Amino acid sequence: MHRHAVVTGAAEGIGRALIETFGAHQYALTGVDVNVARAAQTQAELSAHGLAVRFIHADLGEPDDLTRLIAALIDGPPIDVLVNNAGISCVGAFAHSDLTRQQRVLDVNLRAPLHLTTALLHAGKIARGGTLVFISSLSHYASYPGAAVYAASKDALASYGRSLAVALAPEEIHVLVVYPGPTRTAHARRYSPDNRREAQRMAPEALAASIHRAVERRQPRLIPGWGNRATALLGQWLPTPVEWVMKRTLFAKLLQE
């Protein structure tokens, strides 16, 4: 029987790369996405390459959709890998930002993974020996001026995952927290104030391969790429200079838009 992987935000970017990677390793696949048309296109494209993916349409920022998603997953097969990948952002000076949009960032990035994970654990749907993956952010180490609520949501998700790992260890459920840096996706392009060096960002396929290896090795933490690991180390030991660089490269440019 094939192992079963569930990936949120699966129709493009990192999520799609994860679906392709786990599918290549003989997992049964369930994708979750808010965009019906994009999910249908992705499903058709993957099917043409021999990958069968079941997509569930859900807006993780909407409580009714989240409840419906949880019910659908509980009715489905046991889950060997659950990847909480879906995320959105809201950039700009916080004092002048739309608080409704900021609340939605918290709903999608934090509330939904917590509710989804908790409900599936309570229902016993995470297989013994399975893995919970939480996609946090390199901002955990380097800060993210201009996207403070996004950074806060990813910090909280990381803390939740690390704490959950301790509680679930007796049940042999593995928890992996991932701290990706800039990735070559539409999401990064959408929120970045400067895409001139987009080609230097990590390819989502490379990130997905690293995540799969970390799942197989049962690593508790993954900072993919030597450049990201160097940034994380500097952020821990020299936070002030790193935050100054982030202010110059991100926040100042966001204010100019």
Residues serving a catalytic function are 150
3-state helix, strand, coil in the chain (%, to 5): 55, 15, 30
115: CB partners within 8 A, 6+ apart: 66, 70
Residue pair 143/242 in contact (Cβ under 8 Å)? The answer is yes
φ, ψ (nearest 5 deg) of residue 146: 100, -10
Q: At what angle do helices 112-122 and 63-74 cross, to 10 degrees?
A: 30
CA angle 120, 43, 201 (to 5 degrees): 85
φ, ψ (nearest 5 deg) of residue 228: -65, -40
